[in-house]
Structure 1
Amino acid sequence: MQPIFVLVHSPSVGPSTWHPVAEHLKAAGYQVRVPSLLHIGAGAPPFWPCIVNAVRDDLRQVAADSPVTLVAHSNAGLFLPAIRAGIDHPVTSSIFVDAVLPARIGPTPVAPPELLEFLGPLAVNGWLPRWTDWWDEADVAPMFSDPMVRQTVIEEQPTLPLSYYEQHIPVPDGWDDHPCSYLLFGPPYGDFANEARERGWRVAHLPGAHLHQIIDPAGTARHLVEFGTMT
C-alpha cells in the first residue's frame, strides 16, 4: 500500500510552507495531509502534546491501517518521535527536511542555550515576534522568490510564547527503528545532515535557503518520493 505523506510544518511558521510541495505530490498520485499547527501556542506549556494531537486529529480522516510517511521541516523534526508514538497509523518512514534532529534517546530541548539567549531580549510580556521578524531583510529576502508567496507565509505566521522554545520534548526509546532520511537545503543545518549520515540514514542535498521547499517544490517532492518509497 502506498504511504500517505504527512507534511508537518515548523510551528514557527504555517502550513503554507508545505502547500506547494503537497500539490506536486498530489499531482504525482500521492495522498497528502498537511496538519495545521498554527494554534499550538494558545495553551499552556508543555506544547508538544498539542502538536501530537493536531497531527492525530488530522489523520482521523484517513483509515487507521493506512501507512504514512512523516515529513518534518525545521524544528518540527524534534516532534517526529512523539508524533510517531502518538498516532494510530503505521509509520513506514520519517523524513527530516532542513530540520533539527531529536536525540537518539532522552528529552530534547527545543532551543539550545545560545538560541534562548538570543530570543530572551526579543520577548515582550513572554511573547516573541513572528519568526521572520527576528531577522534582517538581508536574511529573509533570499528565502522567497515570489512576493505573493512571501506575503502568504509571513501573514500566516503565529506568534509564539518564549516558553515554547524553553520546553523539552520526550523521545521514546527506539523511535528511529524504521527508515529515516534527511534532506538538506543548506547552512546552518549541515551539522544535522552529517549527524544523520553518522546514524546511517540516507541523506540528500538540494541546495537552497531554509524555505527552499516553496522555491523548488518539484525538486523537494521528488526527494520525498525517493525517500518515502525506498525500503
Structure 2
Amino acid sequence: MRGGLGSRQNLSINVLMIHSPLVGPMTLHRLGARLHELGFEVVVPDLRGALTGPRPQWRAILDLAIAAASSVDVIVAHSGAGVLMPLLAEQLSPEVVAFVDAVVPGDGLTYQASDPFIEFVDSLSHDGPLLPPWHEWWGDDVTARLIPDGDLRDQIAADTPRVPRSFYDDPVPLPSSWMTRHGCCFLQLSPAYDDDRARAEAYEWPTARMAGQHLDVAVKPFAVGESLMSLIERARSH
C-alpha cells in the first residue's frame, strides 16, 4: 500500500468488506461509500447466494469473497463475518484485518456457535429449515432503535436473507496461531461485543471503542468510517 491514510489522493488501498451471513451487503454499502470518499478502493460482495448451497455454507461464502477480490490490502468484517476472517486472511494475505463489532474466534482448532446462541435460534418461531430474517428476531421496537431511519430500515430488511438453521451446526476450522498475524484490529460499536473486544485486547491487537449500536456501520457511516480509518492506520504500524 502506498501513502498514508490521511491522504485523500490516489491511495490505491483495496478494501474488501464482508457482511454478516445474517444480513445482506446493504448493511455495509454506506460505510463502503464513506471509505471510498476517504480514498479507498472498496468492494462489498453479495455473499447471500452461498446460503442456498450445500453444507457447509461457510465454504461457499469464502469462495464468493475470494472471487470478488483480485487484490486486497484491508479486509473489514462486520458481526458474524468475523468467524471467517482467520481463513479468509490466510487465503488473501491482507495487510490489515479489521473486525468491526464482529465475532473474534478463540484460540482453538475450530469455531462453533455457542450453546446459548444455539438455544436462542432454536427458540425462534420458524417453519422448515430456514430461520426467520434477522430483523424479525428482535421485534419492531428494537429494530427501530438500531435503525431509526425508516427508509434505511426497509432497505436493510428487504436485503436480509433467511439463513438455514443448519448453518450453525458446522464448525469452522481455524488456522494455527491465526490471532498472532500482523494487522488484526478491533472496532467495538455496541456493548454486545464486550467479550470480543476483550479477546482482541488479550491477543494484543489495536482496539478502539465507539459508544454506539451494532448497525452504526449503516446508520453512522461517517463516524464509523473515520474511526475505522484511524484504527487501520494503527494496525499497519502496530
Q: 2:84 aligns to what?
A: 79
Q: Aligned partners of 2:177, 2:196: CA distance in 1, in Å? A: 19
Q: 1:117 aligns to what?
A: 119
Deviation string, structure 1 residues 4-55 (Cα, Å, up to 9, x no partner): 1111100100111111111111111111111111112101211111111011
Q: 1:200 aligns to what?
A: 204
2:155 to 149, 152, 170: 152
Note if 1:17 corresponds to 2:27: yes
**Runs of 5+ in structure 1 lacking a partner?**
none
% identical equivalent positions: 30
The amino acid across from 1:72 in the alignment is A
1:228 to 221, 228, 232: 232
Note if 1:217 corresponds to 2:227: no
Write out aligned runs for 1:131-150 (5 A).
Answer: 131-150=134-153
Write out aligned runs for 1:22-101 (5 A).
Answer: 22-59=32-69, 62=70, 66-87=71-92, 90-101=93-104
The amino acid across from 2:83 in the alignment is L
**Runs of 5+ in structure 2 lacking a partner?**
3-12
C-alpha displacement at 1:103, in angstroms? 2.0
Note if 1:161 corresponds to 2:161: no
C-alpha displacement at 1:69, in angstroms? 0.8
The amino acid across from 1:162 in the alignment is R
RMSD: 1.4
C-alpha displacement at 1:146, in angstroms? 1.4
Query: Is the 8 Å Cα contact of residues 133 and 163 (structure 2) preserved in structure 1?
Result: yes
Q: Which segment is superposed worse, 201-210 or 151-160?
A: 201-210
Q: Which segment is superposed worse, 130-139 or 10-19?
A: 130-139
Query: Is the 8 Å Cα contact of residues 10 and 76 (structure 1) preserved in structure 2?
Result: yes
The amino acid across from 1:4 in the alignment is N
The amino acid across from 1:93 in the alignment is V
| Structure 1 length-normalised TM | 0.91
* DSSP 3-state at the match of 1:98: strand
Distance 1:67 1:125, change over 3 A: closer
Query: Is the 8 Å Cα contact of residues 76 and 98 (structure 2) preserved in structure 1?
Result: yes
Query: Is the 8 Å Cα contact of residues 105 and 172 (structure 1) preserved in structure 2?
Result: no
C-alpha displacement at 1:121, in angstroms? 3.6
* DSSP 3-state at the match of 1:221: helix
C-alpha displacement at 1:216, in angstroms? 1.1
Q: 1:188 aligns to what?
A: 192
* DSSP 3-state at the match of 1:124: coil
Query: Is the 8 Å Cα contact of residues 189 and 216 (structure 2) preserved in structure 1?
Result: yes
* DSSP 3-state at the match of 1:188: helix
Deviation string, structure 1 residues 48-107 (Cα, Å, up to 9, x no partner): 111110111111xx3xxx4421111111000001112233xx310111111111122310
* DSSP 3-state at the match of 2:95: strand
Deviation string, structure 1 residues 140-188 (Cα, Å, up to 9, x no partner): 1111121111111001100011011222111011323112111111121
Query: How many residue pairs are counted as aligned between the two chains?
Result: 223
